[in-house]
Structure 1
Amino acid sequence: MNHKWVGGFFPDPDSAIPVLPPVPDGNATTLAVPSLTTAAISERRAQATAGSRRRRKALIAGWLRYCMSAARRRDAARVIVLDENDRVLLLRYDEGGGVFWATPGGAVDAGEAHNQAALRELKEELGVEDVELGPQIASRAKTHMINGEPTEQVELYFTARVPAGQVDPANATQTDGILAWQWWTLADLDRTHQTVYPLGLTTLIERYLRDGVPTVPAILQG
């Protein structure tokens, strides 16, 4: 009788124990797979698990790179609002990923210029009008998920002087999930452990107050 060896294979990439496939030839005889010790089985399982984790990480990294490269662009305007005592106004949000503070502002609508969008957002979020918008002092580009879609948000940061008593959330028309309005001293902002966007805001404001409008707007990273 002719004997035919049917090699073992791994039906699942996470499996570590070889199994035999069905033998299509009725005349063939399947030879038994040599038995493995418990230690050997554990080692193979560990190797397979490590390999599977590496593959998953590589797939996730590749998918993220693809999403980021395919991200749509969303232009936005934000305003660093300072009062008569050089305090900065921040808005508190909780969008599911944790509570954070950010400057007023939002997306630029079709047909709008950035400065027009900035003034509109001040009216909608702070209830203030007739604001004299200052110069752009920074920009920031960050890719993240918006409504389940990878989006590169490109923000221009302007300045504005608004007396604290003029801000009236009761007159705000679109609060967009704002949980709180708060004036921060630069000292408080510098030592807080809460999340504040953009990163480096304290340094940006200090330089603006000390040196004036930069020749080239700063590029913020976070």
Structure 2
Amino acid sequence: MRERPSSRLLLLDALDRLLLFKFVHLAGALQGEMFWATPGGGLDPGESYEAAACREMFEETGIRIADPGRQIARRSVTFTMVDGEQVCSDERYFLIRIGSAEISSTHWTALERAAIAAQRWWRPAELAATTDQVYPEDIVAMLHKAGAW
């Protein structure tokens, strides 16, 4: 199984709301699945986790940052990619605070445009109460442990 290193963004706005994307897969190996997840993605060859976090921040929100700050969490998880490949993902989480909730999808890939059905800024209580699938499953605890909420 291929290892897939990735940087994930725990992006909080000025109201301490967390940005999540709603993924709805209409085709491929994940057809019919719906879940909420953080912005972020896999590292390019030779790229550091920090550099990938900065690149993903720009590609998925339109916001440029020079430094993602410190890594606040890490997890290893096995999952199936859209093309059906199973990977073991080494995910590093970076907490990033921004002043505005305005983001842009201008730089999304075709795959992101096809799979991301919505974006939402979540308050802690809303996220803790949702019955929707959210990844990572312990995201509320992760943010509490980091002192973000």
TM-score, length of structure 1 as denominator length: 0.58
Residue number among 79, 94, 104 corresponding to 1:158 in the alignment: 94
Structure 2 unaligned spans of 5+: 26-30
Alignment of 1:69-218 (within 5 A): 71-95=1-25, 96-130=31-65, 132-146=67-81, 147-169=83-105, 171-174=106-109, 176=112, 177-209=115-147
Q: Could you give the per-residue CA deviations for residues 194-221 of structure 1, whole angstroms, max 9, x where no partner exists?
A: 110001111111222269xxxxxxxxxx
* CA–CA separation in structure 1 for the residues paired with 2:120 and 2:104: 12
Deviation at 1:162, TM superposition (A): 1.5
User: CA 1:207–1:178 in structure 2 vs 1: closer, same or farther (change >3 Å)?
Assistant: same
Distance of aligned partners of 1:194 and 1:128 in 2 relative to their CA distance in 1, 3 Å threshold? same
The 2-side partners of 1:75 and 1:84 are apart by: 29
Segments of 4+ moved more than 3 angstroms? none
In structure 1, stretches of 5+ residues that fail to align are: 1-70, 212-222
Specify the SS of the correspondent of 2:23. strand
Supply the AA of the counterpart residue of 2:2.
R
**Residues 207 and 107 of structure 1: CA distance in aligned 2, closer, same or farther (over 3 Å):** same
Check conservation: 2:60, 2:104, Cα contact below 8 A.
Answer: no
- Percent identical across equivalent pairs? 35
Q: Which has the higher strand share?
A: 2
Which residue identity is paired with 1:84?
Answer: A
SS at match of 1:109: coil
Call closer, same or farther: CA 1:88–1:113 in 2, change over 3 Å.
Answer: same
Q: Pairwise CA RMSD of aligned residues?
A: 1.9
Per the alignment, residue 28 of structure 2 pairs with none
Does the CA contact (< 8 Å) of 1:128 and 1:166 recur in 2? no
SS of 1:121's partner is helix
Specify the code of the residue in structure 2 equivalent to 1:89.
L
Q: Secondary structure at the match of 1:181?
A: strand
Per-residue CA distance 1:93-149 (angstroms, 9 max, x = gap): 013242100000000000110111111111111111136412111111111222222
The structural deviation recorded for 1:86 is: 1.0
Counterpart of 1:34? none
**Count of residue correspondences:** 140
